[in-house]
C-alpha cells in the first residue's frame, strides 16, 4: 500500500471512530452544487449533540495513471488524477474521453469528481454518460477496507459491434415481408 493511500486510510478510520462526517474533495470545481444543500433533518426520536463539522479529505494527493492500454481503450487512474493529465495521455494516442466531461472553475477537475458528479458534455446523447465508461471501481470503506465494486475487464470488441443499430438483422423478418435483410 503506497503512502498516500495509507494516509487516506488512517484519516477515514479516525473520522469513522470519532463519528465525524467525511467530505471527499478533489479540486473543488463542483462545490457550487452543494452550496445550497441543507444537512439532513435530525431524527425527532433521538436528539443528538450538534454535528461536528465534516473532515475534508483532499484527494488530489492520491493521483496518477496506473495503467493505460490504448489498443484496448482502457485507462486506469486514481480519483485525484487531474482531468488534464488523463486527456493529455489519451491525446498522445489520438484518443479522447467520448463523454466530454465539462471543466468548471479555475481549478483542474479530477477524474474522481467527474465520476462522482456524473457530469457529461453534449456528446452524452450519442456516446453515453461518464458512468457508462467506468469498467471497475475500487473503494475504501469507513473501516479502512478496500472494496472492489466491479472488476476491470478488457474490452473484447468494439461497442458498435453489439449495438442494435449496427446489426443488419435488428428487426426480425415477418411473414410476407420482402424487404432485404
Kindly report, residue by residue over 24-50, the tens digit of the pLDDT. Answer: 888 878 777 766 555 555 555 555 666
Q: Is residue 48 part of a domain?
A: no
Higher pLDDT, 165 or 2: 2
Domain count, the chain: 1
Average pLDDT over residues 53-81: 90
Q: Is residue 87 part of a domain?
A: yes
Q: Answer yes or no: is pLDDT of 76 > 80.
A: yes
Q: Is residue 76 part of a domain?
A: yes
Q: Is residue 11 part of a domain?
A: yes
Q: Is residue 165 part of a domain?
A: no
Higher pLDDT, 52 or 146: 146
| Burial 91-112, CB ≥16 within 10 A → b, else e | eeeeeebbbebebbeebbbbbb
Q: Is residue 160 part of a domain?
A: no
| Vertex 56: Cα angle to 50 and 59 (nearest 5) | 160
Q: Is residue 179 part of a domain?
A: no
Task: Report the 10 Å Cβ neighbour count for 158.
Answer: 10
Average pLDDT over residues 74-88: 92
Domain extent at residue 120: 3-29+53-153
Q: What is the C-alpha end-to-end distance of the chain, expressed in Å?
A: 56
Of the pLDDT bands very low, low, confident and very high (cuts 50, 70, 90), residue 91 is very high
Eight-state DSSP code of residue 162? G
Q: Answer yes or no: is pLDDT of 145 > 70.
A: yes
The CATH number of residue 60's host domain is: 3.30.465.10
Please give the Cα distance from 123 to 98 (Å, whole number): 7
Decide: 121 and 99 in contact? Cβ < 8 Å.
Answer: yes
Please give the Cα distance from 145 to 142 (Å, whole number): 7
- Whole-model pTM? 0.71
Q: Is residue 174 part of a domain?
A: no
Decide: 121 and 88 in contact? Cβ < 8 Å.
Answer: no
Average pLDDT over residues 12-18: 92
Give the CA distances from residue 9 to residues 4, 110, 163, in Å, rounded to whole numbers and listed in that order. 9, 20, 41
Decide: 99 and 129 in contact? Cβ < 8 Å.
Answer: yes
Task: Report the 10 Å Cβ neighbour count for 26.
Answer: 26
Amino acid at each position: 500500500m503506497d503512502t498516500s493511500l495509507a494516509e487516506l486510510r488512517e484519516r477515514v478510520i479516525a473520522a469513522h471512530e470519532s463519528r465525524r462526517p467525511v467530505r471527499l474533495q478533489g479540486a473543488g470545481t463542483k462545490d457550487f452544487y452543494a452550496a445550497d444543500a441543507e444537512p439532513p433533518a435530525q431524527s425527532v426520536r433521538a436528539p443528538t449533540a450538534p454535528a461536528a463539522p465534516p473532515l475534508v479529505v483532499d484527494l488530489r494527493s492520491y493521483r496518477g495513471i496506473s495503467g493505460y492500454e490504448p489498443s484496448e481503450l482502457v485507462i486506469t487512474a486514481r480519483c485525484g488524477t487531474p482531468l488534464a493529465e488523463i486527456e493529455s495521455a489519451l491525446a498522445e494516442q489520438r484518443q479522447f474521453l467520448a463523454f466530454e466531461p465539462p471543466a468548471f472553475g479555475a481549478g483542474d477537475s479530477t477524474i474522481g469528481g467527474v465520476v462522482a458528479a456524473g457530469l457529461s458534455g453534449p456528446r452524452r446523447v450519442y456516446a453515453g454518460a461518464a458512468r457508462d465508461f467506468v469498467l471497475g471501481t475500487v473503494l475504501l470503506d469507513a473501516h479502512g477496507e478496500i472494496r472492489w465494486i466491479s472488476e476491470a475487464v478488457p474490452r473484447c470488441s468494439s461497442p458498435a459491434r453489439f449495438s442494435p443499430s449496427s446489426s443488419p438483422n435488428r428487426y426480425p423478418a415477418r411473414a410476407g415481408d420482402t424487404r432485404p435483410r
